[in-house]
Amino acid sequence: MEQQAPSQEPDEAMQAPSPQTQLREWFRGIPLCTKSLLVVNVSIFVVAAILGWDNYRAVCMAPYALVSSFQIYRVVTSMFVHLGLLHIAFNMLAFVPIGSVLERSLGTLRLAHTILALAIVSAVLHVATAAALLPFTPTDDQFYACSVGFSGIIFGLIVVETAVSGAERRSLFGFFTVPAKVYPYALVAFLQLIMPSVSLLGHLSGALAGQAYAAALAYNSGAVTQAHLLARVEAAPAFGRVVALPSYIHGRQDGLPVAHAPAGHRLGGSERSGGGGLMASLTEAVRGAIGRAWGPRDADGGGDGDGRAVGPATVRGGYAYDAVSITDTAPARPPPSQGGAPGSEARPARPQSDADRRRQLAMAAAARRAAGGGGNAADGGGAGAELTAGQQEVLAGMIEMGYGRDRARRALEASGWDVGQAVDALSSGNIH
């Protein structure tokens, strides 16, 4: 009796998707505002490269041009111009994760508003600081310097995310960790140390703009007022087609939230490791660049103040690191409960990818094992008691989010090993 050979279809179905499919799924999962800015930055870079355009001084952030000629357009144009492939690659690899995390938390329209506010405030601070330094510096390089790139905005977003993430410490490319509150400024100093040509004022003004924006939103009444105004824009008929797009994220109606990434989706460094996946590759890139970064560069602070075009001579001969921002991004958080934090309003369901749903199901299963592994949520979870395998898995996940082991365990025990409640308790400061 002949036997039929086993079908190969199941094996073929189990094969990993192609790189093209993975890239398409990754791009599809990026929220609308972050995706749009990524497309704009990359498109401008590609078109400029094809056309051979290199007149950076016509569009860069130059304090003297804003003061003497009131060329306000430079506030916008300077953000979308990059000097080289590494420049735009590092900036976009840093922007997409942190932009996605904040957009899922704030909403698409509110993130766009945040970026616009950061652009304006950082430009004002950049010009004001450069002008204020004129009497105290031996040269006027900062006032006549020409800087381009998106990293000023990225530094502002780092500060905003740090203010709402609840993380206690952040890793600088795996070299060492610093308190989360000083992380953006430590990153500015660290990048300035290993890449002396980058724009110190561009990065610092972006970070200070983020500090000012986060402080303004920390006053809940102002944040709620802003959220309601943006909600009215979302409800306008003219905005209907944009809101209907699958990648659009509706804004929340309460104050400044804790930034929740999809469960299990780790975007940045933790208290222990300093990053995985994206950050591991970026860390290697930084370490590899340190040996090359001390040579002369006509970088973000490039140009010599004489009206000469910035970049072409040196960019063609080496790497352009100016305004490059490589960042340890937001620690992943499970999504809040339907009602959000106490006093917040329920938010409409947001579109999720299949990968996000699988991660959430895995996290929920781990939480159920943690609660039921000892027969009772409290069993095996008391202070000093041995944890079950499920509880250890959930605790390890909380530590990777950036929380200290002891605080994370106390929060989980107090919430009956409910991850969402534990995160809310840690974020509200109820667990010490």
- In eight-state DSSP terms, residue 262 is P
Q: Indicate if 288 and 200 belong to the same structural domain.
A: yes
Axis-axis angle for helices 151-165, 183-194 (nearest 10): 150
**Which helix (H) or strand (E) segment is 144 a member of?**
helix 141-144
Which pLDDT value is given to residue 430? 64
N residues, the chain = 432
> At which of 256, 290, 315 does a domain end?
315
Total count of domains within the chain: 2
* Torsion angle of C-alpha atoms 343, 348, 353, 354, degrees rounded to 10: 90
> What's the pTM value of the predicted model, to 2 decimals?
0.58
Question: Residue 130 phi/psi, 5° resolution?
Answer: -60, -40
Which pLDDT value is given to residue 39? 96
147 DSSP β-pair partners: 61
Which pLDDT value is given to residue 362? 56
Is the separation of the CB atoms in 173 and 324 below 8 Å? no
Domain assignment of residue 398, yes or no: yes
Which pair of structure tokens corresponds to residue 199? 């724009």
Which pair of structure tokens corresponds to residue 218? 């920390």
> At which of 264, 294, 315 does a domain end?
315
Which pLDDT value is given to residue 162? 84
Q: Indicate if 57 and 197 belong to the same structural domain.
A: yes
Which pLDDT value is given to residue 51? 95
Domain assignment of residue 96, yes or no: yes
Is the separation of the CB atoms in 180 and 306 below 8 Å? no
Domain assignment of residue 164, yes or no: yes
CATH number at residue 265: 1.20.1540.10
Give the range of the structural domain holding residue 252, as residue numbers without chain letter: 29-315
Domain assignment of residue 432, yes or no: no
CA 211 vs CA 34, 216, 344: distances in Å: 21, 9, 24
Q: Indicate if 372 and 288 belong to the same structural domain.
A: no
Domain assignment of residue 285, yes or no: yes
Q: Indicate if 230 and 371 belong to the same structural domain.
A: no
Q: Indicate if 291 and 375 belong to the same structural domain.
A: no
Domain assignment of residue 172, yes or no: yes
Give the other-Cβ count within 10 Å of 409's Cβ: 22
Which pLDDT value is given to residue 223? 55
Domain assignment of residue 335, yes or no: no
Task: State which amino acid sits at residue 373.
Answer: G
> At which of 315, 345, 378 does a domain end?
315
Q: Indicate if 276 and 393 belong to the same structural domain.
A: no
Which pLDDT value is given to residue 119? 95
Below-50 pLDDT ranges, the chain: 9-10, 12-13, 221, 257-359, 373-381
Domain assignment of residue 219, yes or no: yes
Q: Indicate if 105 and 207 belong to the same structural domain.
A: yes
Q: Indicate if 150 and 81 belong to the same structural domain.
A: yes
